[in-house]
Amino acid sequence: MASIQNKTVLITGGASGIGKLMGLKCLEKGASKLVIWDVNPEFLNQTTAEFRKSGYTIFPYLLDVSNVEAVKEKAEKVRAEAGSVDIVINNAGVVVGKEFKDHSHHDIDFTMNINTTAIMHVTLEFLQGMLYKGSGHIVNIASAAGLLANPKMSVYVASKWGVTGWSESLRIELETINSGICVTTVNPSYIDTGMFAGVRTNFLLPILKPERAVDKIIKAIEYNKISVRMPFLVNLLPFVRGIFPARLFDWFVGHVLGVYDSMAEFAGHDYYKSPNNLSGSKV
């Protein structure tokens, strides 16, 4: 069992939603330093003040994680001010919930840059330090959407398939060289944080409570788990997809589980839908 105690933890999108909850849980578990990256100055200031009032050591940085130069600059500042990072939780994410034909080119780049390529750039900045120490943990918050298709979120699905595939590939590479670095890929269904306001689900795939989701992610860090899928039914999706013919799979996922209609009344949250807000809590 790995310990979070005395570790330095960095969380992107860490000023609100499950990012904030994960940060607090790590601090309660004894993390010595929490580095928060977020694009929302109000959330960042509020969370920093709240955590510091409780006596925790916080290093807040305001940045857009899709800006590679900003990521490199802030990573250098983190190393200089907070020291080496032991645990990176790639949590920042966005969604544009509409049919692909209604997307703009900006919508595509906006989603892919935040949800996929930013995670790679952030990880690359801190991976060398982990390799030098021979230890570390990288947590990539993907999505159940990284395991199956879903209407009205095609680009989001593409971004999360990318995260899932890259995260698993990175894990295998690091295990092959006995790096001592763990990689955990997290594939949750909808989490009740506001990012997916208006989605419809049923009892088979209920909307997850943030606290429950965070508990499972933190335990995955402590037990060096390679994957977290929630709720339980998400574990079965790759198997069912592999044995069912495509039309039967569509019927099962679309009509039995109701996934294909889940975004029909999607409203989202104004913060997550604005092009000026390039980071948020992953759901």
Instruction: Give tens-digit pLDDT for 156-184.
Output: 999 999 999 999 999 999 999 999 999 99
pTM of the model: 0.91
**Burial code of 237-265, b = ≥16 C-beta within 10 A, e = fewer?**
beeeeeeeeeeebeeebbeebbbbbbbee
Residue 262 has φ and ψ, to the nearest 5°, of -65, -25
Q: Which two tokens stand for residue 34?
A: 């929490």
What does the pLDDT read at residue 36?
98
Does 281 map to a domain?
A: no
Q: Which two tokens stand for residue 134?
A: 């021979």
Tell which residue, 106, 143, 118, has the closest CA to residue 273. Answer: 106
Q: Report residue 257's pLDDT band, with 50, 70 and 90 as the boundaries.
A: confident
Does 3 map to a domain?
A: no
Task: Tell me the HSE value of 188 on the side-chain side, using a 13 A CA sphere.
Answer: 25
What does the pLDDT read at residue 255?
85
- Read off the CATH number of the domain in which 208 is found: 3.40.50.720
Does 1 map to a domain?
A: no
Q: Identify the DSSP state of 2.
A: -
Residue 54, domain extent: 8-273
Does 216 map to a domain?
A: yes
Instruction: Transcribe 58-92 into DSSP letters.
Output: EEEEE--TT-HHHHHHHHHHHHHHT---SEEEE-B
Residue type, 170: L
**Residues with a known catalytic role:** 156
Residue 161 has φ and ψ, to the nearest 5°, of -60, -40
Q: Which two tokens stand for residue 107?
A: 């919508």
- Look at the chain and count its residues: 283
- Mean pLDDT in the chain? 90
Number of H helices, E strands in the chain: 10, 7
Strands (E), 72-174: 87-90, 136-141
Does 280 map to a domain?
A: no
Strands (E), 91-202: 136-141, 181-188
Q: Which two tokens stand for residue 183?
A: 């990689």
Q: Report residue 278's pLDDT band, with 50, 70 and 90 as the boundaries.
A: very low
Measured distance CA(13)–CA(39) in Å, rounded: 7
What does the pLDDT read at residue 202?
67
Q: Which two tokens stand for residue 242?
A: 């592999």
Domain count, the chain: 1
Does 260 map to a domain?
A: yes
On the question of pLDDT at 127 being above 90, the answer is: yes
Does 37 map to a domain?
A: yes
Measured distance CA(54)–CA(276) in Å, rounded: 31
Does 269 map to a domain?
A: yes
Measured distance CA(95)–CA(8) in Å, rounded: 29
